[in-house]
Amino acid sequence: MENAASAVPAPRALATDAVHAGREDLAELGLHAPPLDFSTTYPSYDAAGEAARIDAFAETGARLEGPPVYARLDNPTTARFETALATLEGTEAAVAFASGMAALTAVLLARASSTGLRHVVAVRPLYGCSDHLLNAGLLGTEVTWTDPAGIADALRPDTGLVMVETPANPTLAEVDLRAVRHACGSVPLLVDNTFATPVLQRPVEHGARLVLHSATKYLGGHGDVMGGVVACDEEFARTLRQVRFATGGVLHPLAGYLLLRGLSTLPVRVRAASTTAADLARRLAADPRIARVHYPSVGGAMVAFETYGDPRAVIAGVRLITPAVSLGSVDTLIQHPASISHRIVAEGDRRSAGVSDRLLRMSVGLEDVEDLWRDLTQALGGGPLRAVDAEVPAVLAP
C-alpha cells in the first residue's frame, strides 16, 4: 500500500490556492501571517560566495538560492506574491514589477534583448497606455495593428510577440484565444488578463505563453496598491528578472505584501462583483437612455455602455459611484475613456477600435445592486431616449 505521505497531492480548487499559495511554509516558520521584509540590503561575510551567486544570476536569471543580496535582485515578500500568482495562473513562474506598464515594458525589452525581434503584432483595443507604448516606438519596437483574423498575415520574420487583451479595455471585446494562438505559429502570445483575472480565464490553458496583469486592479482589489506582474514559464521569467534588475522597475515589498493579501479574497470579490455587473448590464440594456451595452461572455465585473445623451453628464451626476480612472476596487468606478484612459490613442484609431465618444466604462464593486442602480438612474437623468418603436438592444458580448 502506498505511503500516504508520498502520494501525489490532489489538485486544489482556485479558491483554496488563492488563500494558501505563497504561504505553504508559514507553519514551519511558526507564523500565521506572511512576514513583510523591508530590507534593501542583506549582510554577508562571504564575498567570494556572493560574487559566485551574482555571476550565476547575471548568466541565467535564475532566482538566487539562499539569503537575498539586494532588494533590486529579489525580495522574500514579493517572491511570495509571485509564487501565488503563478499558481493561480497555472504557470511555472511569475515576475512582479512596479506597475503594469513596467511589466509590459520588461516583456518588450526581454524579447528584443533575447531574440533581437522588435516587431509586434497587436489587436486593438488595448489599454490606452499599452497602445501608446507600442505605437510610439519608445522602446524601438514596431507594431502592426490588426484584427484577430489578420494575425497570421501580419506576422513577419522579425515578429517577436503577438499581444491581445481579452476582454479588452474599454469595449470588453473578446477574442478566441485558441484561434489566436494557432495563428501565432511559433511567435509567443502575450495576453493581458487584467479584466478577467485567473478566476474567469487562464490564458495559458489556451496556449498563451505570457500573461500580463496590471496588479493595481483586481489582484490588489482595494485601490491602494500599484504593481504589475507577468506569469510565464521559467525560461522567460529568467530574462524578465534580468531586465528588472537592470532597469530597476521593482515592486516595493509593501506592495507585494498587499497584493498577496489581495489574492486571498480575489475569487470571492470577482464572483460577487460579477453577479452585480451582470444584473446592471441587463438593466442598462432595457433602459431607453442607453444605446448599447457591452458585457463579455466570460462574465466579470466590468460593464461598458453607450448613452444617447452626453456621457460627461453621467460622470458629473453620480454620487455613490466614484468618477475615477482605474478599476477592480471594492467600490464602483466609472470613467469616460475618450476623455481619459484612451485619450492618448489617436482619435481615428480609438474610434475604429470601437471606443466611441459616448462610451462609458464602469468597474462594478461590492455595493448593493439596488443602491448602484439608483445612482445610475439619477445620473442618467432625463436625457435623450430610444425611439419608442426601436428594438431594445441585447446585452452584447463583442
Predicted confidence (pLDDT) per residue in 230-288, tens digit: 999 999 999 999 999 999 999 999 999 999 999 999 999 999 999 999 999 999 999 99
Active site residue 308: no
The one catalytic residue among 111, 127, 131, 202: 127
How is residue 126 written as a grid cell? 488595448
**pLDDT of amino acid 114:** 80
Phi and psi torsions of 200, nearest 5°: -105, -25
Active site residue 238: no
- Report the predicted TM-score, pTM, of the whole model to 2 decimal places: 0.94
The one catalytic residue among 23, 42, 70, 72: 72
Q: Which of 341, 336, 298 is nearest to 130 (CA)?
A: 341
Burial (CB count <10 Å: 0-12, 13-18, 19+), residue 40: exposed
Active site residue 72: yes
The one catalytic residue among 217, 238, 289, 361: 217
Active site residue 282: no
How is residue 250 written as a grid cell? 521593482
Report whether 365 contacts 335 (CB < 8 A). Answer: no
Delineate the domains of the chain, giving CATH numbers in brackets: 10-122+141-164+176-265 (3.40.640.10), 267-396 (3.90.1150.10)
Average pLDDT over residues 47-74: 93
**pLDDT of amino acid 5:** 53
Q: Can you spell out the DSSP letters for 249-292?
A: -PPPHHHHHHHHHHHHHHHHHHHHHHHHHHHHHHHHHT-TTEEE
DSSP state of 236: H
Entry field: residues in the chain: 398
